Amino acid sequence: MISLPTPPSRAPRRHRPSTVQRALTTSAAAAALAAVPGAPAVAGLPLHAAAPAVATPRVVPAPASLRALSGVSFTLTRRTRIVVRPGADRAGTYLAAILRRSTGYPLPISRTGGTAGAIALSLTGGGGGEAYRLSVRRDAVRLSSGTPTGLFRGLQTLRQLLPPAVESATVRPGPWSVPGVEVDDAPRFAWRGTMLDVARHFFTVAQVKRYIDTAALYKINVLHLHLSDDQGWRIAIPGWPRLASYGGSTAVGGGPGGHYTERDFAEIVRYAAQHYMTVVPEIDGPGHTNAALASYAKLNCDGHAPPLYTGTDVGFSSLCIGKPVTYEFLDAVLGRLAKLTPGPYLHIGGDEAMSTKPADYAEYLRRVAAIVRRHGKTLSGWADIGAATVPRGSIAQYWQPAKGSEKGTETARAAVRKGARLVMSPADHAYLDMKYTASTPLGQDWAGLVEVRDAYAWDPGTLLDGVTDKDVAGVEAPLWTETIVTDRNIDYMTLPRLPAVAEIGWTPQTGRSWNDFRVRLAAQGPRWTALGRAFYRSPQVPWPAR
Ligand code: TNX
């Protein structure tokens, strides 16, 4: 554990009662209920059948529709094949890699042959986008989708239907049974993101990949990388070498920092794409820019470079709005990132510009929006941008606590009026760096304490007055890393809250309830252990005995 100076407090800590639980109304909820021990069996089937040899389906995020087939299961054996129809090869390879590792079975992939006894993956209809259908019967597992993305999402459901030991990196004994189900699934929101702050502390390519692995299991599809801040600049930019070599040379607490070369960054983008995740790179400005200002004296209005900064204050730095070199710098940086990033978005930050005059902030936004457009990308920024230029179709990321930040809510509404859609990251629900309880050793508490239930029990479509589902692109859980240094630190703060936010983004609101979620979440614990993930054993969750 590291010890840090107490970060500046932004708002008094509030303990809020959790949102009222919603009624279980969908087939998803009903199926999940049937999965709870002691709940009635599926209609028409005997209540006291032989003791089930397979686990009940406990999937996170809850599928839009899941029907458990009582008494039915598929068992993976040494002879099981993976049959891939045209276009499903990648999905087959991905699944085989996971299953071979822990089962030790050969699991050959074949493009021909029938589905009997097989896991069959096909790209046949099943709707567009990320929708998929999964049928587990005694004779076969059949997964289909209109897209490879949907197949990949469906494979995450299949993983969670297998015993937790399937996630083990070494061969385990089995048996490998999958409960019979009919799943018909599609996400509520298109943007289901997580942000990793690689600026306050640097995380290597291997660490980012490990984070992608965790997030992919919960159908997260956006990886937002916070690449620059006061404490560090993390990406090499041609023509501006000191940004990375000097601006990237330290971190909060004075550690060695680090940065990504273009190859490193390309490798992250490639790995994310393999997991059907879009990378959204963020270069924060005009505030949160001390690392850049320290690297180049000419970026400062007075021509003097400040020293590198390793503390945790915010709001003290600003780019020089009136200098042409500021926009040469932004053009070089955003132009490079536009080239390196296949996704449509460039995130320009824009938060907490407390050292920039409002008129200067507006001028900055106008200029930066033009640069983003010139490089063919869509602008994304923290919702503070609502006070300035927001091109139609932009993404504004709401970050302030849901309650008690009228100004933040108003700028978010202004962004919507200007034609942006919101990504919802309310700090008192979605911030993965908030402490769970007063005694959580890591994290901050300026937005309050965020237990698992607080992370789960909110609805992005009703959280802010005047903002409804159609204004919302989705949700994102940011992990700021002032106090986060190691993989274990990352695991502890993200698990179990990232799956909670992932379910908010995926599952229809009518299919969600805290009491149902906590039971399904509990079933993830042994999976995390098998995956080598440390997690917070929240007392709100009925974890199985160790
Ligand atoms: C606020 S939220 C910030 C970050 C900090 C974070 C810590 C936002 C857009 N800015 O600079 O890291 O709080 O919780």
Q: pLDDT in tens for each of the 546 residues of the chain?
A: 333 333 333 433 333 323 222 222 334 333 333 333 333 333 333 344 444 457 789 999 999 999 999 999 999 999 999 999 999 999 999 999 999 999 999 999 999 999 999 999 999 865 679 999 999 999 999 999 999 999 999 999 999 999 999 999 999 998 999 999 999 999 999 999 999 999 999 999 999 999 999 999 999 999 999 999 999 999 999 999 999 999 999 999 999 999 999 999 999 999 999 999 999 999 999 999 999 999 999 999 999 999 999 999 999 999 999 999 999 999 999 999 999 999 999 999 999 999 999 999 999 999 999 999 999 999 999 999 999 989 999 999 999 998 878 877 999 999 999 999 999 999 999 999 999 999 999 999 999 999 999 999 999 999 999 999 999 999 999 999 999 999 999 999 999 999 999 999 999 999 999 999 999 999 999 999 999 999 999 999 999 987
CA distance 494 to 500: 10
CA distances from 400 to 298, 381, 464, 473, 529 (A): 33, 13, 11, 17, 33
CB 160 within 8 A of CB 55: no
Q: Structural domains in the chain?
A: 65-184 (3.30.379.10), 191-518+525-531 (3.20.20.80)
pLDDT at position 403 is 80
Residue with tokens 């490089």: 375
CA 87 to chain centroid, in Å, comes to 26
Tokens of 322: 């009136």
Radius of gyration of the chain (CA): 24
Is 465 exposed, middle or buried (CB count within 10 Å of its CB: 0-12, 13-18, 19+)?
exposed
CA distance 120 to 143: 6
Pairing of strands 472-479, 191-197: parallel
Q: Is 523 helix (H, G, I), strand (E, B) or coil?
A: coil
Is the omega angle on the peptide bond into residue 499 within 30 degrees of 0, that is, cis? Answer: no
Mutate to test the pocket of ligand 1, among 347, 352, 497 (most ligand atoms within 8 A of CB): 352
Residue with tokens 């970026």: 299
Distance in Å, CA 248 to ligand 1 centroid: 19
Ligand 1 atom nearest the C-alpha of 7 is 7
Residue with tokens 């993404």: 395
User: For residues 281, 349, 374 and 356, what is the CA-based torsion angle, rounded to 10 degrees?
Assistant: -150
pLDDT at position 33 is 36
pLDDT at position 147 is 96
CA distance 264 to 281: 14
CA 32 to chain centroid, in Å, comes to 24
The CB of 480 under 6 Å from ligand 1? The reply is: yes
pTM, 2 dp: 0.91
Q: Is 136 helix (H, G, I), strand (E, B) or coil?
A: strand
Distance in Å, CA 18 to ligand 1 centroid: 23
The CB of 341 under 6 Å from ligand 1? The reply is: no
CA distance 431 to 428: 7
User: For residues 12, 1, 399 and 262, what is the CA-based torsion angle, rounded to 10 degrees?
Assistant: 150
Residue with tokens 């940065």: 259
Distance in Å, CA 524 to ligand 1 centroid: 29
Hey, which bits of 124-253 come out as E strands? 132-136, 141-144, 176-185, 191-197, 222-226, 228-229, 232-233
Helices (H), 246-311: 262-274, 290-295
DSSP letter string over 415-430? HHHTT-EEEE--HHHH
The secondary element (H helix, E strand) that includes residue 92 is: helix 89-103
Pairing of strands 228-229, 232-233: antiparallel
Residues with a catalytic annotation lie at: 352
CA distance 388 to 362: 5
Ligand 1 atom nearest the C-alpha of 382 is 9
CB 164 within 8 A of CB 527: yes
pLDDT at position 406 is 83
Distance in Å, CA 480 to ligand 1 centroid: 7
User: For residue 298, which phi and psi values (nearest 5 degrees)?
Assistant: -65, -15
The CB of 352 under 6 Å from ligand 1? The reply is: yes
Ligand 1 atom nearest the C-alpha of 434 is 14
3-state secondary structure 491-512: HHHHCCHHHHHHHHHHCCHHHC
The CB of 314 under 6 Å from ligand 1? The reply is: yes
CA 453 to chain centroid, in Å, comes to 18
Half-sphere exposure of 436 (CA within 13 A, CB side): 20
CB 260 within 8 A of CB 234: yes
Tokens of 494: 């993200």
CB 401 within 8 A of CB 15: no
Contacts of 300 (CB under 8 A, 6+ apart): 293, 306, 320
Residue 379 pairs in a beta bridge with 346
Ligand 1 atom nearest the C-alpha of 425 is 2
Residue with tokens 């008094």: 12
